[in-house]
Amino acid sequence: SGGVADAKNLRVKLVLLGDSGVGKSCIVLRFVRGQFDPTSKVTIGASFLSQTIALQDSTTVKFEIWDTAGQERYAALAPLYYRGAAVAVIVYDITSPETFNKAQYWVKELQKHGSPDIVMALVGNKADLEEKREVPTHDGIDYAEKNGMFFIETSAKTADNINQLFEEIAKRLP
């Protein structure tokens, strides 16, 4: 199987969650436009972008991406964006343990209130800042494994693992 005859066109609602400043908007900008903005502004409410990728079996996956605002004042809006989402990408900053704690909060919230079959990815971003790392890679791996999530470390700045993140998600779609 996997030939052209099996090709499908999937549409997938994806939500990004995580503390303010972890790099959610930069990950999306890198994935959708191939750019990095060192002066990225905080997101107000949420923003929407879409991007289509082709898999090896010529299936296409159109990601409809809700990039939420991480500032605490917007936390109450999150259910509007994660409700009905097939995929949640929960992002922390590898230089900031507080953001790793916040990521765990979002995982629990989605386990309680997200779709039961949601695909969850845990992303440690800013992997280019290795000299400032405060969250060991194995902490991310362990937490993701215990919670049945896919785990990856990325850098929106260098583009490291950004396309891989979305390709791996696409492979895990039900």
Coil/strand/helix, residue 94: coil
CA pair distance 9, 2, nearest whole angstrom? 13
Structure tokens at 83: 């409700």
Among the listed ranges 4-12, 50-58, 69-77, 110-118, the one in contact with ligand GTP (CB under 6 A) is 69-77
| C-alpha angle 76-20-153 in degrees, rounded to nearest 5 | 120
Q: What minimum distance in Å lies between the beta carbon of 105 and ligand GTP?
A: 14
88 burial level (CB within 10 Å; 0-12, 13-18, 19+)? buried
Which of residues 41 and 146 has its CB atom nearest to ligand GTP in the complex?
41
149 contacts 120 by C-beta, under 8 angstroms: yes
Structure tokens at 46: 């949420």
Positions 20 through 39 that interact with ligand GTP (CB under 6 A): 20-26, 38
Q: What minimum distance in Å lies between the beta carbon of 31 and ligand GTP?
A: 12
- 155 near ligand GTP, rule: CB under 6 A: yes
Q: What minimum distance in Å lies between the beta carbon of 43 and Mg ion?
A: 3
In this structure, are strands 60-68 and 87-93 parallel, antiparallel, or unpaired?
A: unpaired
At residue 145, what is the residue type? Answer: E
- 95 near ligand GTP, rule: CB under 6 A: no
Q: Select from ligand GTP, Mg ion, none the partner in contact with residue 139, using the beta carbon and a kind-dependent cut-off of 5 to 8 Å.
A: none
Q: Select from ligand GTP, Mg ion, none the partner in contact with residue 99, using the beta carbon and a kind-dependent cut-off of 5 to 8 Å.
A: none
Query: Which residue ranges make up the site for ligand GTP (CB under 6 A)?
Result: 18, 20-26, 38, 40, 42-43, 69-71, 125-126, 128-129, 155-157
